[in-house]
Amino acid sequence: MRENKPSGFKIMARLIWLVKPLTAVMLLGILLGTLGHLCAIFVTVIGAEGVVMVAQSFENPVLQKTVPKLFGILVAVGVLRGLFHYGEQYCNHYIAFRILAIIRHKVFEKLRILCPAKLEGKEKGNLITMITSDIELLEVFFAHTISPIAIGVLVSLLMTIFIGMQYPIAGIIAAIAYVTVGGMIPVSNEIESAGAGLRFRTEFAKMNSFILGALYGVDETIQFRAGKDTLEQLNNRGEDLADTKETLVGFEKNQKSLTNLSIQLFSIIVLGVMLVAYSKDKVSFEQVIIATVSMMSSFGPVVALAALSNNLNQTLACGKRVLDLLDEEPLVAEIDDGIDLEMVANARGNIATVNNVSFAYEDVDVLKNISLDIKKGKILGIHGASGSGKSTLLRLLMRFWDTDAGQIHYYDKLDGPVEIDYINTQSLRDNQSFVTQDTWVSHDTIANNIAVGKPDATKEEIISAAKKASIHDFITSLSHGYDTVIGELGSTLSGGEKQRIGIARAFLHGGNMILMDEPTSSLDSLNEGIILKSLKEEASDKTVVLVSHRKSTMGVADTVVEIEQ
C-alpha cells in the first residue's frame, strides 16, 4: 500500500506537467469554476437571507423595499452561475482534448521508435487498449480532476473565511470539514483502491488481447471445435474482471457513505455551535441561518473531489501504463546526427559487407561469425532451413537490431565504408525496401495499400509498381480495379496476392537495395516463376537480398549463400 501513494502523486504530477502549454486556459477555467461554485452557494445563502428578511419585513416596513432587490440579485447570481459553469467546462474540455491529441501523438511516435525490437512479442490487444480506452480515460483527469482540485481548494478557503466572519469557531469547523471531505477521505480511498484500479486496467487489456486473438483464429476454432473451450476461457476472464470491478464498486460505496455521513455530521455541528453562540448573544439569528446554510450548501466542490477517487484509481492506472510506455527506451536508438548515405559500390563491386557478425535473442544464439559481400546490381540469395537466422540477417541489415559482434558496412559516395551505426536511420530506410514474409494490408483500397511504399505516389507510379510485381492483371480484373477495398487483414485476398502487394510496395518505394524475406512462400510454382522472372527483369538496377528456404527460389540469384543453424 505504501508504494502506491508516492507513485500516484508522481503520476499526477507528470500528467499535470503536460498541461504547461495550456496554463492560461487552465487558469481561466479555474477562475470561472471558482466563481461559478460561489454563485451556486450564494444562491442558497441569498435565498435564506431573503426568507429571513421577508419574515422581518412584517415588523419592519423599511425592509419591504429591500426584498425585491434581493430577489433580483438572486436571479442575477443564478444566471451568472450558468455562464461561469459553461465557461469552466469549455476551458477544461478544450484542455483535455488538446492534451489527449498530444499524448496520442507522443504514444504513436514512441511506438514507431520502439519498433520492431522492443515491441516484438507484445500483445496487440494490450497496445490497442492503451491507445484507445486508456488514453480516452485520461480525459477524466484533465477535464474533471486538475481544475476541480484547484477550485475545491479556493472555494473552501473563501467559504472558511466567510463562515468565520459569522463566527470564528464555525469557520474553524468548516475548514476541518473541507479537509476531511475533500482531502482525507478521497486520498484514503485512492490509496486503498489503487491496486484494484491497476489490476482492472491490466485485466481489461488482457481481455482485449484474448478477444482479438480469438477473432484472428475463428476459422481454426470452428474447424477444431474449440468454441466451447474458447467460450469457457472468455467467461473465466469476464468473471475475474467482474470481481475486480465489484471490488472497485465496494470502495466507491464506502467512500460515498463516509462522505455523506461527514457532511451531515459537520453541518449539524456548525448548527449546534451557532445555536449555542446565539443563546449567549454572541451572534444574531441571521448569522445562525447564514452560517448554517453556507455550511450545508458549500460542500459541492469538495464532494466532487471525494468522488474523483472513485475513478482516479483507474485514471492513474491508465496514466501509469501510458507513461511507462513513453519512458521505455528503444533497444535500437535511431541515428539522426550521422551520415546521409549515398549508396555506391566499392572497387570490388560491393555496396555492403557483413564481417564476422554474431547475434543472439537473449541467450539463444542465432547467427555466429557470418560474413558475406553484397554486390551492386546483383541478386544475393540466402538459403537455409527455417530458424537458421536468414530473416534475422535481413533485420540486422536494416538495423532493426544491433549486432552482438562484428560489423556491417555500407559504402557511401563520399565517406567510403561506413559502419551501419553511423548512418542516419531515415537515410538507411530511404535506401532500402523490405518485403516481409507476412504482408500486412489494411481495410482500404488496393491503390492505397500499394501506396504505403510511397504515400505521395501518383496513380501511374502505383500501376507501374503493380505491373513489376505481376499483380496488375489481377487488380484490373476486379470490378472496381485499383479502387477495390480489401477486407480487414486482407481477408478477401489470397496469401500470394497479399505478398505481391508487398512486392509492389517495394518497387514503388524505390531505393538501391531490396530485402525480401520469403517473398514467394505463399505462391504456387507458376506464380513463383512469374514473380522471380519479373524480379530478375525489373530489378536489374537494384541490389536484391533474397531470403528463402526454397531451393527453387534461389534459381534467380546470381550468388547463393548457405546458412546453417
Q: Is 147 exposed, middle or buried (0-12, 13-18, 19+ CB in 10 A)?
A: buried
Distance CA 60, CA 532 (A): 106
pLDDT on residue 5: 42
- H or E element in which residue 260 lies: helix 227-279
Q: Is 68 exposed, middle or buried (0-12, 13-18, 19+ CB in 10 A)?
A: exposed
The number of angstroms, rounded, from the C-alpha of 393 to the middle of its chain's C-alpha atoms is 32
Residue-wise over 8-39: b if at least 16 C-beta within 10 A, else e?
A: beebbeebeebbeebeebbebbbbbbbbbbbb
At residue 447, φ and ψ (nearest 5 deg) are: -60, -45
Q: Which three cell numbers stand for residue 413?
A: 559516395
Describe the crossing of helices 285-297 and 23-57 by its angle, rounded to 10 degrees.
140
Chain centroid to CA 478: how far?
38
Q: Is 516 helix (H, G, I), strand (E, B) or coil?
A: strand
Encode pLDDT of 420-452 as tens digits: 999 999 999 899 988 887 788 888 899 999 998
Assess contact for 351 and 410: CB atoms under 8 A.
Answer: yes
Q: 215: which 3 cell numbers?
A: 477473432
Half-sphere exposure at residue 132, Cβ-oriented, CA atoms within 13 angstroms:
9
> What average pLDDT does the chain have?
84
* 177 CA to centre of own chain: 38
Place of cell 565504408: 417
Given this model, what pLDDT does residue 276 score? 94
What region does 510 belong to: left with phi over 0, alpha with psi -120 to 50, or beta? left
Report cis status (omega within 30 of 0) of the bond before 116: yes
CA–CA dist 172, 328 (Å, integer): 48
Q: What is the dihedral of CA 198, 98, 146, 82, to 10 degrees?
A: -130
Q: Would you state the cell numbers that stand for residue 362, as one nine-digit string?
A: 537473449
Q: What is 4-327's CATH number, 3.70.10.10, 1.20.1560.10, 3.30.43.10, 1.10.3210.10?
A: 1.20.1560.10
Cell 448554517, located at residue: 292
* CATH number belonging to domain 350-562: 3.40.50.300
pLDDT at residue 7 in the model: 58
Q: Where are the domains of the chain?
A: 4-327, 350-562
Same fold flag, 4-327 and 350-562: no
Question: Kind and range of the H or E element at 75?
Answer: helix 66-114
Residue 511 dihedral angles phi and psi, to the nearest 5°? 85, 165
Distance of CA 143 to the CA centre of its chain: 17
Helices then strands (H, E): number in the chain?
19, 9
Q: Are β-strands 416-419 and 513-517 bridged in parallel, bridged antiparallel, or unpaired?
A: unpaired
pLDDT digits (tens, 9 = 90+) for 450-481: 998 888 999 999 999 999 888 899 999 988 99
**Amino acid, res. 48:** A
Helix (H/G/I), strand (E/B), else coil: 58: coil
Q: Of 309, 307, 328, 305, which Cα lies nearest the Cα of 130?
A: 328
Largest CA distance in the chain: 114
User: What one-letter code names the amino acid at 395?
Assistant: R
Euclidean distance between CA atoms 285 and 278, whole angstroms: 7
Residues ≥6 apart with Cβ < 8 Å to 156: 174, 175, 178, 179, 182, 298, 301, 302
pLDDT tens, residue order, the chain (565 aa): 334 444 567 888 888 888 888 889 989 999 999 999 999 898 888 888 777 766 665 555 655 566 677 778 888 888 998 999 999 889 988 888 888 888 888 888 888 888 777 776 666 667 777 777 788 878 777 777 788 888 989 999 999 999 999 999 999 999 999 999 888 888 787 777 767 777 887 787 778 778 877 776 776 677 667 778 888 888 888 888 888 888 878 887 888 888 889 999 999 999 999 999 999 999 988 899 999 999 999 998 888 777 776 666 677 778 888 888 888 888 888 888 999 999 988 889 999 999 999 999 877 888 999 999 999 989 999 998 888 888 899 999 999 999 999 999 999 988 899 999 999 999 998 999 888 877 888 888 999 999 988 889 999 999 999 998 888 999 999 889 999 998 776 777 887 788 889 889 988 988 889 998 888 776 777 777 877 887 787 777 789 999 988 888 888 899 999 987 5
